[in-house]
Amino acid sequence: MTTVKRSILITGGAGFIGSHLVRHFVTRYPNYQIINLDNLTYAGNLENLKDIEAADNYTFVKGSITDLTLLRTLFKNFDVDGVLHTAAESHVDRSIENPMVFVQTNVQGTAALLQVARECWTKPGRNYRFHHISTDEVFGALGEEGYFTEQSPYNPQSPYAASKASADHLVRAFHNTYKLPVVLSNCSNNYGPYQFPEKLIPLFIKNILEERVLPVYGTGCNVRDWLHVQDHVEALDLIFHEGKTGDAYLIGGHNEWKNIDLIHLLCQQTDKRLNRAAGHSQKLIHFVQDRAGHDHRYAIDASYIKRELGWTPRFTFEQGLAQTIDWYLNNSDWIAGVSSGAYRNYYLSKAHTARQNVKSYESAA
């Protein structure tokens, strides 16, 4: 048996980025015990982790980051010495519909994690680290020129962005006030396999496949800076292990696309793979009412993480998008399960194992 070198709590590990992060840590660091805490909202899908769920160094716990009692038990029983905090409500449109759950999860949940880390991380000589995973949306919107940097002022526009900004401020406050060893990262738009089809890229691939309407908000001229999720995960690994305590790192792909141009590319590339005539799916494009308060442009200057930690994206957009479209086309069962809601049964079918895990941390109490 390998010696446990670290015990790391990854929150939100059943989500899109979280599941890539969990897989990466479980496979790259067999000496680390990885605890995935996720309360399985609509965005949490344990099927994303089927391939590693039986690994010796992996434990899933179903529960909320807002549950202080549960957090204290987990920190104590697993002797957690590292946190990678991805759990969040993450969809801007949902935050416009129902902001309160964003405040509960993103603000109160982050505060609860910080508080329990502060209470439990008292042993001298330990290598404690709390990595808060955030977004470029905290900086608001850019005009046609310029980039976000680590010095950009906070100016969040949507309830989602404001809740993430609040969480960032709490993380900094716990560092400043209690010397909690934190590090932050703010990333641009991610894409890749296992993304819930409410976000632009997976939603549009799904709709092209099913020949449904492609709803483009406003004029389609908003700009996003796209990064493959695996490149984000590699950056998180570096920041978690080598980032300077108290610092924030901006992560982005230097890969700006106007929504409408990206949508045309998705249509072309997906049609080609489906052997459809050129221009077939372009007919599905419909311009619809704009998102309220729609941020015009996000773009990251990632020179700090490149200079300090040597990170650079590995995927070109051409490779990453091709891999992503192929993945969704080859995993129509995953799309069908997510669309019908059947993905929720996966946890129920695994409840026995999950209960065993719960039992093991309860009995160690």
Closest distance of CB 2 from ligand DAU, Å: 35
Question: Do 206 and 328 touch, CB atoms closer than 8 A?
Answer: yes
Torsional class of 19: left (φ above 0), alpha (ψ -120 to 50), beta (otherwise): alpha
Enter the DSSP assignment of 204.
H
Q: Which stretch binds ligand NAD (CB under 6 A): 34-42, 168-176, 278-286, 316-324?
A: 34-42
Is 137 catalytic? The answer is yes
Catalytic member of 136, 168, 234, 295: 136
Is 136 catalytic? The answer is yes
Type of residue numbered 138 = V
Catalytic member of 32, 58, 147, 160: 160
Q: Select the binding partner of residue 266 from ligand DAU, ligand NAD, none (C-beta < 5 to 8 A, by kind).
A: none
Rounded Cα distance, 47 and 49, in Å: 5
| Rounded CA Rg of the chain | 20
CA 220 from centre of chain: 24
Q: Does 9 bind ligand DAU (CB under 6 A)?
A: no
Strand partners, 225: 256
Rounded Cα distance, 191 and 114, in Å: 28
Q: Select the binding partner of residue 168 from ligand NAD, ligand DAU, none (C-beta < 5 to 8 A, by kind).
A: none
* Token pair in block for residue 156: 């969040």
Type of residue numbered 301 = D
Closest distance of CB 282 from ligand DAU, Å: 15
Rounded to 10 degrees, what is the CA torsion of 107, 197, 184, 22?
110
Query: Which of 7, 105, 152, 166 forms a contact with ligand NAD (CB under 6 A)?
Result: 105
Chain length of the chain: 365
Closest distance of CB 35 from ligand NAD, Å: 12
Query: Which of 53, 137, 237, 256 forms a contact with ligand DAU (CB under 6 A)?
Result: 137
Classify 311 as helix, strand or coil: coil
Closest distance of CB 123 from ligand DAU, Å: 34
**For residue 20, which of 230, 196, 185 has the smallest C-alpha distance?**
230
* Token pair in block for residue 150: 């680590």
Catalytic member of 137, 225, 234, 256: 137
Site string for ligand DAU, 157-196 (x = CB under 6 A): -------------------------------xx-------
Closest distance of CB 126 from ligand NAD, Å: 25
Rounded Cα distance, 317 and 321, in Å: 6
* Reduced DSSP (H G I as helix, E B as strand, rest coil) percent helix, strand, coil of the chain, to 5: 50, 15, 35
**For residue 207, which of 278, 283, 140, 150 has the smallest C-alpha distance?**
283
How many of the chain's residues bind ligand DAU (CB under 6 A)? Answer: 19
Q: Does 196 bind ligand NAD (CB under 6 A)?
A: yes
Q: Does 154 bind ligand DAU (CB under 6 A)?
A: no
Is 318 catalytic? The answer is no
Site string for ligand DAU, 84-103 (x = CB under 6 A): ------xxx-----------
Rounded Cα distance, 54 and 200, in Å: 32
Type of residue numbered 262 = L
Q: Does 222 bind ligand DAU (CB under 6 A)?
A: yes
- Which CB sits closer to ligand DAU, 292 or 351? 292
Q: Which stretch binds ligand DAU (CB under 6 A): 176-184, 211-219, 272-280, 341-349?
A: 211-219
Site residues, ligand DAU (CB under 6 A): 90-92, 135-137, 188-189, 199-200, 203, 215-217, 222, 224, 259, 291, 298
Q: What positions carry a catalytic annotation?
A: 136-137, 160
Site residues, ligand NAD (CB under 6 A): 11-12, 14-18, 37-41, 43-44, 64-66, 86-90, 105, 109, 133, 135, 164, 187, 189-190, 196
